[in-house]
Structure 1
Amino acid sequence: MSNHGFFQITQKLFLRDGEKLLVLRDRKSGHGDLPGGRMNEDEFFSDWSESIFREVSEELGEQIKIDVNPEPIFIHKHRVNEGNFPCVIIAYTASLVNGNIQLSDEHDFMDWVNIKDFDPSKLFSEYMLEAVQLYLKKHA
């Protein structure tokens, strides 16, 4: 008999400003990251975009305004660095409307990289690297 698994849901944004893509670095792991994060239990039965906007305001500051396309561009797998939990990544595209980013203490580095010549392997690893490579292949 097989056991059904329990998995967490991570929603990540490919946040663009024209040809530039926002990349972050996780302070704890030192690995590349994208804006977004895990859904809380109480958010599961709500509108999932509320979870995205909560994460974005936590990670990038209250005054940033973004436009998120609610249609996922792909689904990928991931292990959360803390606790090694298996996670489903749901990836979305978003664009910066206005505002200045105020990084939270979750991340210690950010950059707007050019999607045409960015090499994600210098910053990202494992499943997040695969996700960014997948995005760049389709959208660069």
Structure 2
Amino acid sequence: MSKHGFFQITQKLFLRDGDLLLVLRDKKSGHGDLPGGRMNEDEFFNDWTESIFREVEEELGTNIKIEVNPVPIFVHKHRVNEGNHPCIIIAYDAKCLDGKVNLSDEHDYMEWVNINSFDPQKLFSEYMLEAVQLYLKEYA
């Protein structure tokens, strides 16, 4: 008999400024990343956007003002590099309203890329690559 799996939840933002999309690179793994991250246990029964905004503040600083559409645009599977945990990506559409990114030490690279010409294969891999390709196919 198979048993139920336990999966972590990571909320990721496709953060846009017009045709530009913010992409990051994870310092530890060297893989492409998007703003957002894993939900903490104590955040699960609260409003999930609180978890998103906590992660955004941790990763992008307090100088950037964003608007997040709370309705997910898609759900995708993922495997967290650290510990290899199976994870569910919940993807959201977000807009940069004002301010500047102040990158945390979790990431060592960021770029605003044009969604019409960006090739995600140079930066992303595995399930995150699939998620970014899915996004670009739908929204570019």
Task: Give the TM-score normalised by structure 1.
Answer: 0.99
Partner of 1:130: 130
Question: Structure 2 matches for 1:1-140, cutoff 5 A?
Answer: 1-140=1-140
Paired residue total:
140
Structure 1: which 4+ aligned runs deviate by more than 4 Å?
A: none
Q: Map Cα deviations across residues 36-73 of structure 1 (whole Å, 9 max, x no partner).
A: 00000000000000000000000000121100000100
In structure 2, distance between residues paired with 1:139 and 1:100: 24
Q: What is the alpha-carbon distance in structure 2 between the residues aligned to residue 105 and residue 63 of structure 1?
A: 16
RMSD of Structure 2 on Structure 1 (CA): 0.4
After superposition, the C-alpha distances for 1:55-106 in whole angstroms (9 at most, x for unaligned) are 0000000121100000100000000010000000000000001111100000
- Percent identical among aligned pairs is 79
Q: Return the alpha-carbon distance in structure 1 between the equivalents of residues 72 and 84 of structure 2.
A: 24
Could you tell me which runs of 5 or more consecutive residues in structure 1 were left unpaired when the two chains were aligned.
none
Give the letter aligned to residue 61 of structure 2.
G
Instruction: Structure 2 unaligned segments of length 5 or more: list them.
Output: none
Aligned residue identity for 2:139 = H
- Residue 134 of structure 1 deviates from its aligned partner by 0.1
Distance 1:2 1:111 in 2: 43
Q: Distance in 2 between matches of 1:132 and 1:2?
A: 32
